[in-house]
Every structure is written in structure tokens, then in C-alpha cells.
Amino acid sequence: MPLLCRPAVAVPEHVITQDDTLALAARLHADHPQLRLVLRLIEHTGVVKRHIIRPIDQTLEHSGFTHRSGVFEQEAKKRVPPVVDEALANAVLVAEDIDAIVFVSCTGFMMPSLTSWMINELGFRTDTVQLPIAQLGCAAGTAAINRATDYCVAHPGANTLIVACEFCSLCYQPDDHDVSSLLSNGLFGDAVAAAVVRGDGEGVGVILRAQASHVIPGTSQWIAYEVKDTGFHFRLNKGVPGTMQQVMPELGAFVEKNGLQLPGLDFYVVHTGGPRVLDALRTHGHVPDQGLQDSWHTLAHHGNIASAAVFDVLCRTADSQPRDGACGIIAGFGPGITMELALGTWQTRPMHTVLSTPAAGGLQ
């Protein structure tokens, strides 16, 4: 079975703290009729600091969609290569060993995709398959893992590289004054992540054993972009937090279908959409507080970094050195409203020895 190797994650050098965010919101929106609510919501995000690709004064200045698109391309070409190199090293592979690249981003658009540039400039083979995904938002991280798994299953022994490049700060819109937009200004951060899925199942990481996708009916516009001349305008329906309660039965059923129970898993790699997402897993999914600590830490130190979030959480999980055969879930939520899930077991030695001692209760 395919194995998801330890990811590589990099955040930019410019830091904005929650205190900075609150001060900016109070100064820029002093006359906003719901300023107190906005400040309270930002305080309750759990975000201590975020990282952004440009200094805050440049970030707050809207230089036009054309210029911002150029910044995305320039910064991606600068920041993606070292992260890819680290991810390849974690997988004990080189660029020539990669058979497919899944590239995900919801914060910038390029055509041809960055995958074409990577093949031309970073040493990948010219027959490398390209799969850019641009419209799954925060769910794209787990979706990329699932599509990489699909490729490796369809092509036994193949290796797939995943790259998530999210510069959320490029989507800042100074003229959007609704509460959800102002809250988003205090939640999202920038990051680049990469990881390799090895089709031969060798190495240390997560053996990927099951996956699922689910769309909540009637919520297609609840997390969305409104595309204008000024670029992408993030729209968030006030009903979004409640959808986590709606998907909990589907999430639990997916885990149970594979012979396990959601509250009894050994690790949880959950996209850090915000505190309401994590709270719902605790209150409605009965996930233990300790199981969500890695997600809370990513949220606190990086904010919501969209599709890159699950990879940062997975790095933190790897640091805790789960036992061989530990069972866990990777979960992402995004526009649609879409839920992407992957279930797997932790491997600390070659696959054939793991299979001889499966985790109790399922995923054998």
C-alpha cells in the first residue's frame, strides 16, 4: 500500500501577531458598527501569530490583481524548490524518481501550472504526470493525498509528489468590511508544504489504507470566492461552523466502516479551519482533547494555512513518534462544503513487518 512520507513545511519570514492584528483592525475599522464583535472573534481564533510573504504595509496595500498574480508566481518559484528538496530527502528519493506531481493552491493562479515550471527547472522527468488542483480550498491538502494515493494504486511502485502553495495574504481585500471578511483577515496565514507518497510502501510515515469524499448538500456557496477585477474575495456564510455537526455522522461512519471508532484513534491530523472545527470534533465527535493538540498548535503558530495545514499538523504528529501500527485519520474541509478523509496506520519500519502486527480493531 502507498505510504505518505514525512512532509516538509516552510512559513515566510514576516510575522504578524494577534496583538498586531487586533491593533490594525481597531485602527483601520474604528467606525465599524460591529468592531467589538470582530475583535472578540479574532481573539477567540486561537491564533497567536501568522507568517506572511511580504511586510504588513505591502500586504495591506492593494496593488491590483495583475501585480498580485505576479507576486504569487515570483514567490512560489522562490519558496517551493527548497521545500520540495526537503520532502524528497524525507522520502529518500530524488526528482527523477517522481512519476506524478499533484500541485494544490487556492490563493494564486498560473497557466501553465507551476508543475510545468518544476519539471523544466527542478530536474523532474519530462514524462512526469501533472495534476494541478485549484478550486478545493482548504480541503485540497487531504484531496491531494487521496489523488496521489489513487495514482500510486493505479501505477504500482510509482511515486507521487504533493506540493501545497498557499499565500493567503495575497487575497486581502481592504474594501471588504463584512464581519466574516474581517475575521478571515485575522485567521489566515501563508505557507508552502510538500510531501511524497511512495507507491512501494517503504519508509516511515502513514500507510494510506482508505479514503472518502463527502459534499454537504445545499452549502455550495457557503465557502466561496467572488471573483472581481480586484481578485478573489473570500465569502463565508455564518452557518459554516454548524456544518461540522452535520458531517460528524459521515466522518464517524467512514471510520467505523474500516473497523475503528473515531474517539479511539491514535492520532488525528485535522485541518485547522478555526476553533469551531476543532471544537466540533471534540463535542460532537467525542475526539479527546489530547488528540487535537497538534492541530491546535498549527492553528496557534501559523493560523489557517489552507491546503498546507494538514501537512504541518502531520509534521507535529511525526515529532511525537507514534507507535508502529498506530491508527489515525487525516481530514480536510473546504468549499462545497467538501470533506476529504484519509485513514491510515503509522509505519516505523518496512511494510512487510507492519502487516504482521496490525493495529487491533481494524485496518488489517
- Identify the active-site residue in 5, 138, 165, 327: 138
* Nearest residue to 241 via CA among 193, 181, 197, 180: 180
Residue 168 CA to residue 52 CA, distance in Å, equals: 8
Length of the chain as a residue count: 364
Instruction: Give the strand pairing for 14-17 and 49-52.
Output: antiparallel
Instruction: Give the strand pairing for 223-228 and 231-236.
Output: antiparallel
Q: Ramachandran region of residue 363, left (φ > 0), alpha (ψ -120 to 50) or beta?
A: left
List, as one string, the DSSP characters of 253-287: HHHHHTT--GGG-SEEEE----HHHHHHHHHTS--
Contact 295, 278 (CB under 8 A): yes
Residue 151 CA to residue 93 CA, distance in Å, equals: 17
Residue 114 CA to residue 130 CA, distance in Å, equals: 10
Q: Ramachandran region of residue 226, left (φ > 0), alpha (ψ -120 to 50) or beta?
A: beta
Looking up cell 478545493, which residue turns up?
136
The DSSP secondary-structure symbol of 169 reads G
* Nearest residue to 6 via CA among 171, 203, 201, 150: 203
For residue 168, give the C-alpha cell.
493567503
Residue 263 CA to residue 256 CA, distance in Å, equals: 11
Strand partners, 208: 344
Contact 140, 332 (CB under 8 A): yes
Specify the 3-state DSSP secondary structure of 19: helix
Residue 171 designated active-site? no
Contact 194, 163 (CB under 8 A): yes
The DSSP secondary-structure symbol of 349 reads S
Residues carrying an active site annotation: 138
